[in-house]
């Protein structure tokens, strides 16, 4: 019998590992925006500016006024599995930051031309580092304000398949705007700016009222029919708004759910929402809502999905019941049927 040669098993070089990791997390330009803005939020920024050109394929630039990084920290920040957000091994089970995997900068740097400029309050000048397809240039001093500026060009230049899957600039810009919307809704304490092809698309100063930010994105049609929701106990805090049935939609894309400051998708919670509106909406119509839930991080597992869009609750049934009960109580106090129809 003929014997096939034994395959060789090899440990992959770091750069290939990073490209594989990028395949999971960096699907398109909008994923870059999400990861970088999350880093800016975790860095305690008060103002975050997102600049894009060509639907993000020509340029993505995120500027923040957060804590910045020292010249010594910069190379570590772009190394894979390096993070400042898990100070000890137990903190994985009580994550309070948006990031914790330590993979975004390594992944993005492996599939683009990335420039990082950063400065901390304690440093007189900043430093700059360039990464091209995972190859890191030595950091150099540079002048820059306190905070961080990250510029991404030539995204997917060395991953032809990903590059081919990019859609038109208009479509990619649409995905970026959606990612930006979720981040800006989740973080009303931050001043957000979005600039597309040199034009300011959004300039959203902070406001104490969440409804101001909702109105900035969705206009008066939505902002004028918001019904406040609020229910707080020692474990879970639910707040935000549901909308009058008159502004229902044909899909569930206008159901914004935020858990501990993170935008999430959760079938069970969407189902609870549908149940609460049962009898108020026609079949095939979906309510519009903007709901924030906050609970101790120990009760949630965010380490189930690479982009953390889905999370797992230790007691999902309880969270479901709690949301449904909160909404039903509110609906009993608000005469919803009176509000349906034109002119209401």
User: What residue 172 binds from Mg ion, ligand ADP, none (CB within 5 to 8 A, per partner kind)?
Assistant: none
Please report how close the Cβ of residue 204 comes to Mg ion at its closest, in angstroms.
22
Helix (H) or strand (E) holding 338: helix 336-339
Please report how close the Cβ of residue 117 comes to ligand ADP at its closest, in angstroms.
11
Given the rule CB under 5 A, which of 22-30, 66-74, 92-100, 117-125 is the region that contacts Mg ion? 92-100
Residues contacting residue 74 through CB under 8 Å, at least 6 positions apart? 116, 118, 127, 129, 139
The answer to whether residue 78 forms part of the interface with Mg ion (CB under 5 A) is no
The answer to whether residue 104 forms part of the interface with Mg ion (CB under 5 A) is yes
Residues contacting residue 42 through CB under 8 Å, at least 6 positions apart? 66, 85, 97, 98, 99
Give residue number: closest CB to Mg ion: 99
Nearer to ligand ADP, 49 or 244 (CB): 49
Nearer to ligand ADP, 78 or 229 (CB): 78
- Residue 10 is encoded by which pair of tokens? 């090899």
- Under DSSP, the state recorded for 278 is T
The answer to whether residue 39 forms part of the interface with Mg ion (CB under 5 A) is yes
- Distance from CA of residue 201 to its chain's centroid? 18
Nearer to Mg ion, 19 or 148 (CB): 148
- Under DSSP, the state recorded for 7 is P
Report DSSP letters for 163-194, one per residue.
HHH---HHHHHHHHHHHHHHHHHH-TTSEEEE
Please report how close the Cβ of residue 33 comes to ligand ADP at its closest, in angstroms.
13
Interatomic CA distance for residues 240 and 154, integer angstroms: 39
The answer to whether residue 22 forms part of the interface with Mg ion (CB under 5 A) is no
- Greatest distance between any 2 Cα atoms in the chain: 84
The answer to whether residue 32 forms part of the interface with Mg ion (CB under 5 A) is no
Nearer to ligand ADP, 30 or 242 (CB): 30
Nearer to ligand ADP, 70 or 325 (CB): 70
**Alpha carbon of 196 to those of 46, 56, 202: distances in Å?**
21, 9, 9
Nearer to Mg ion, 29 or 245 (CB): 29
The answer to whether residue 99 forms part of the interface with Mg ion (CB under 5 A) is yes
Please report how close the Cβ of residue 100 comes to Mg ion at its closest, in angstroms.
8
Interatomic CA distance for residues 81 and 94, integer angstroms: 18
Binding site for Mg ion (CB under 5 A): 39, 99, 104
């Amino acid at each position: 019998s003929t014997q096939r040669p034994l395959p060789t098993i090899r440990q992959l070089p770091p750069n290939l590992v990073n490209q594989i990791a990028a395949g999971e997390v960096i699907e398109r330009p909008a994923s870059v925006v999400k990861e970088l803005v999350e880093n800016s939020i975790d860095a305690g920024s008060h103002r975050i500016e997102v600049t894009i050109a060509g639907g993000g394929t020509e340029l993505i630039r995120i500027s923040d006024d957060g804590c910045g990084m020292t010249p010594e920290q910069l190379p570590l920040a772009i190394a894979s599995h390096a993070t400042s957000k898990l100070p000890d091994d137990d903190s994985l089970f009580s994550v309070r930051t948006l990031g914790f995997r330590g993979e975004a900068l390594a992944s993005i740097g492996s599939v683009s031309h990335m420039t990082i400029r950063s400065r901390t309050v304690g440093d007189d000048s900043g430093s700059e580092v360039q990464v091209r397809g995972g190859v890191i240039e030595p950091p150099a001093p540079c002048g820059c304000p306190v905070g961080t500026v990250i510029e991404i060009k030539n995204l997917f230049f060395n991953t032809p398949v990903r590059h081919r899957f990019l859609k038109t600039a208009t479509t990619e810009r649409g995905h970026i705007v959606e990612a930006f919307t979720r981040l800006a809704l989740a973080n009303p304490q931050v001043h957000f700016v979005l600039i597309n092809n040199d034009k300011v698309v959004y300039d959203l100063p902070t406001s104490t009222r969440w409804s101001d930010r909702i109105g900035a994105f969705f206009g008066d049609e939505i902002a004028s029919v918001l019904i406040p929701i609020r229910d707080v106990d020692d474990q879970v805090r639910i707040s935000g708004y549901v909308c009058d049935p008159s502004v229902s939609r044909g899909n569930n894309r206008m159901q914004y759910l935020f858990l501990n400051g993170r935008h999430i998708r959760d079938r069970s919670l969407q189902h609870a929402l549908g149940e609460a509106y049962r009898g108020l909406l026609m079949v095939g119509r979906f309510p519009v809502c903007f709901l924030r839930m906050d609970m101790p991080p120990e009760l949630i597992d965010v380490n189930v999905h690479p982009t953390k869009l889905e999370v797992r609750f230790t007691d999902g049934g309880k969270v479901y019941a709690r949301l449904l009960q909160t909404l039903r109580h509110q609906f009993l106090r608000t005469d919803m049927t009176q509000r349906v129809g034109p002119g209401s």
